């Protein structure tokens, strides 16, 4: 097999055609700033990848590096640092792509997917283009692994609105696919997901949830044993049962038992307290939110 030769050129920025980025996840401001500082210190160490057509370079990989370079040039201090370090701010190293169309379609996946900067919807759409171009299914299964490849095909079958939720990181692709199997009618699925999304938004704003991602527990109202205990205890305290023959002491006995579970007491301790008729207090409700740092004494 003949050795593959690489052709790398230093290209003027004005000769680069950005085109359309295959991934929709935008790099964070922090990530861009980190790249910009790195370029100011050492330049662009990893060449961009592009097709050369009529003297222009059509970009396939390197969008974040280009964005960081633009941020660097707009920052006076970083520009001065780059000049001090002899970094060329008007030209960038570009590897000229010499493969076929299928390899070209794989470039965004190879560059981004395994760095977690490409969501499953973008990868799935790129996979569809590869399949349409005649890419062998077995090769894609070997590349991704069969479970991941199967998931990507399932993502393609999801309604567009559900795909947008995945792209916005409001739901994991695997969770969305699982829900779609359980609720096959698109209208009912979207109604359930929108309702769950509103609930998550409320929990997030109240500080009871750290992210806005829809989970199975939110969608289905999944009950853990402790949640059931907490709900029953809260109901008993607020609205004692009114069924015939209910006695206050029986309600209190049940509350003591539930409070023992809430406190994390073991079975022996709970039983001992119940036999002795001792009351078990409800646990102190934890205050949510961040603790304020105390000012240090000077």
Which pLDDT score, from 0 to 100, does residue 2 have? 44
Angle between helices 76-84 and 29-42 (to 10 degrees): 30
Cα→Cα distances 179→42, 92, 266, Å: 47, 46, 37
Question: Above 60 in pLDDT, residue 294?
Answer: no
Question: Above 50 in pLDDT, residue 191?
Answer: yes
Question: Above 80 in pLDDT, residue 22?
Answer: no
Choose between 231 and 274: higher pLDDT.
Answer: 274
Return mean pLDDT, the chain. Answer: 82
- 17 phi, psi to nearest 5 deg: -105, 115
Model confidence band, residue 185 (pLDDT cutoffs 50, 70, 90): very high
Least confident of 4-18, 121-135, 208-222: 208-222
Which pLDDT score, from 0 to 100, does residue 297 have? 43
Question: Above 60 in pLDDT, residue 296?
Answer: no
Which pLDDT score, from 0 to 100, does residue 177 have? 93
Strand order in the sheet with 56-61: 8-12, 91-96, 48-53, 56-61, 16-17
Model confidence band, residue 249 (pLDDT cutoffs 50, 70, 90): confident
Taking residues 66-91, report their average pLDDT.
93
Taking residues 185-196, report their average pLDDT.
89
* Residues forming beta bridges with residue 8, ordered by sequence position: 95
Choose between 158 and 256: higher pLDDT.
Answer: 158
Question: Above 60 in pLDDT, residue 1?
Answer: no
* Residues forming beta bridges with residue 57, ordered by sequence position: 16, 52
DSSP classification of residue 256: H
Q: Show me where the domains of the chain are located.
A: 7-98, 225-276
Least confident of 8-22, 23-37, 56-70, 205-219: 205-219
Cα→Cα distances 60→46, 102, 175, 261, Å: 14, 13, 31, 58
Angle between helices 137-144 and 146-156 (to 10 degrees): 110
Tokens of 27: 């790099």
C-alpha 235/C-alpha 202 separation (Å) is 22
Please name the CATH architecture into which domain 7-98 falls.
Answer: Alpha-Beta Complex (3.90)
Tokens of 152: 């990507």
Model confidence band, residue 6 (pLDDT cutoffs 50, 70, 90): low
Tokens of 22: 């295959």
């Amino acid at each position: 097999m003949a050795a593959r030769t690489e052709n790398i050129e230093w290209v003027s920025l004005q000769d680069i055609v950005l085109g359309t980025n295959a991934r929709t996840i935008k790099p964070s401001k922090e990530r861009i700033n980190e790249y910009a500082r790195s370029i100011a210190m050492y330049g662009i160490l990893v060449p961009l990848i592009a097709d050369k057509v009529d003297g222009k370079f059509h970009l396939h990989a390197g969008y974040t590096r280009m964005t960081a370079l633009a941020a660097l040039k707009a920052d006076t201090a970083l520009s001065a640092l780059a000049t001090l370090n002899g970094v060329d701010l008007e030209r960038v190293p570009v590897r000229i792509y010499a493969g076929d169309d299928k390899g070209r379609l794989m470039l965004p996946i190879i560059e981004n997917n395994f760095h977690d900067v490409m969501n499953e919807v973008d990868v799935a759409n790129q996979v569809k283009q590869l399949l349409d171009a005649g890419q062998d299914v077995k090769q894609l299964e070997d590349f991704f692994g069969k479970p991941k490849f199967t998931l990507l095909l399932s993502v393609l079958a999801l309604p567009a609105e559900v795909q947008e939720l995945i792209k916005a990181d409001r739901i994991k692709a695997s969770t969305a696919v699982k829900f779609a199997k359980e609720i096959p009618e698109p209208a009912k699925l979207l109604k359930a997901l929108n309702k769950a999304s509103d609930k998550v938004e409320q929990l997030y704003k109240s500080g009871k949830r750290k992210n806005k991602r829809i989970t199975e527990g939110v969608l289905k109202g999944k009950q853990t044993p402790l949640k059931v205990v907490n709900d029953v205890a809260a109901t008993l305290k607020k609205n004692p049962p009114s069924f015939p023959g209910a006695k206050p002491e029986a309600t209190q006995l049940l509350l003591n038992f539930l409070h023992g579970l809430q406190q994390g007491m073991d079975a022996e301790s709970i039983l001992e307290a119940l036999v002795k008729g001792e009351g078990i207090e409800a646990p102190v409700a934890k205050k949510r939110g961040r603790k304020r740092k105390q000012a240090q004494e000077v």
